[in-house]
């Protein structure tokens, strides 16, 4: 090497060394995954902020719900008839004539259903039961093939079903309770449309 080239070589190697030092410093300043300083994305940060706000406002939401319940209770009391005995929620059924029609809900397919559908079925049964109890001409209401997933779901989510009145809950299949010739099986798969009920 000539003496003229020597200083240029030393200068370039010094520049390389300085760049190497700068890169090492940058790497050391970046948070490492193992050190507990994981970088958080904007989406994760927004989620954390929303969750924190949700938890901070929990008491406020609870208070609003209480106020809403009180307001509704006052509204109900204002709407009550003056001769009412105070039992406005439980409507007294006058002139109830029980129908001779039997309505049977066949639960024998619950083993083919997923849990989501079982829960929906349970809600539908609750609604049918409540509507039949309020009706002026309630039908004879049966729940057959009651067991399996549906019974388990009802036991877990609605323990009061064992005290239901005006309903016959049977583990037997409907064919053991009613003759085939006295039966009309309602299903959404049928092409026939039922337009009227004949006792």
pLDDT at 88 over 60: no
Beta pairing class for 168-169 and 102-106: unpaired
Q: What is the pLDDT of residues 89-140, one digit of tens each?
A: 555 556 778 888 888 888 888 888 899 999 998 999 999 998 988 888 888 8
What's residue 36's pLDDT? 55
Contact predicate 158/124, CB 8 Å? no
pLDDT at 50: 92
pLDDT at residue 64, rounded to an integer:
92
Name the residue among 73, 141, 134 with its Cα closest to residue 103.
141
pTM summary value: 0.50
**Phi-psi sector, 69: left (phi>0), alpha (psi -120 to 50), beta:** alpha
Tell me, what's the pLDDT at 34?
Answer: 44
Sign of CA dihedral 80, 84, 87, 88: negative
State both tokens at 75.
């509204």
- The rounded mean pLDDT for the chain is 77
Fold of 102-182: Alpha/beta knot (3.40.1280)
What is the model's pLDDT at position 81? 56
Domain ranges within the chain, ordered by starting residue: 43-79, 102-182
Q: What is the CA radius of gyration of the chain?
A: 36
pLDDT at residue 67 is higher than 90: yes
pLDDT for 49 equals 93
């Amino acid at each position: 090497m000539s003496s003229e080239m020597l200083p240029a070589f030393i200068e370039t190697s010094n520049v390389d060394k300085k760049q190497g030092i700068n890169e090492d410093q940058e790497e050391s300043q970046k948070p490492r995954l193992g050190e507990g300083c994981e970088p958080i994305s904007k989406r994760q940060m927004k989620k954390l902020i929303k969750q924190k706000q949700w938890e901070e406002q929990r008491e406020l939401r609870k208070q609003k719900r209480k106020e809403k319940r009180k307001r509704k209770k006052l509204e109900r009391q204002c709407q009550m008839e003056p001769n009412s005995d105070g039992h406005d929620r439980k409507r007294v059924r006058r002139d109830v004539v029980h129908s001779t029609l039997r309505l049977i809900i066949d639960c024998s397919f619950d083993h083919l259903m997923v849990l989501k559908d079982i829960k929906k079925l349970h809600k539908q049964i609750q609604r049918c039961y409540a509507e039949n109890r309020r009706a002026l001409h309630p039908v004879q209401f049966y729940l057959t093939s009651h067991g399996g997933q549906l019974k388990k779901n009802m036991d877990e989510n609605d323990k009061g079903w064992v005290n239901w009145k005006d309903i016959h809950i049977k583990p037997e299949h409907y064919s053991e309770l009613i003759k085939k010739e006295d039966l009309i099986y309602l299903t959404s798969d049928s092409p026939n449309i039922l337009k009227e009920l004949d006792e």
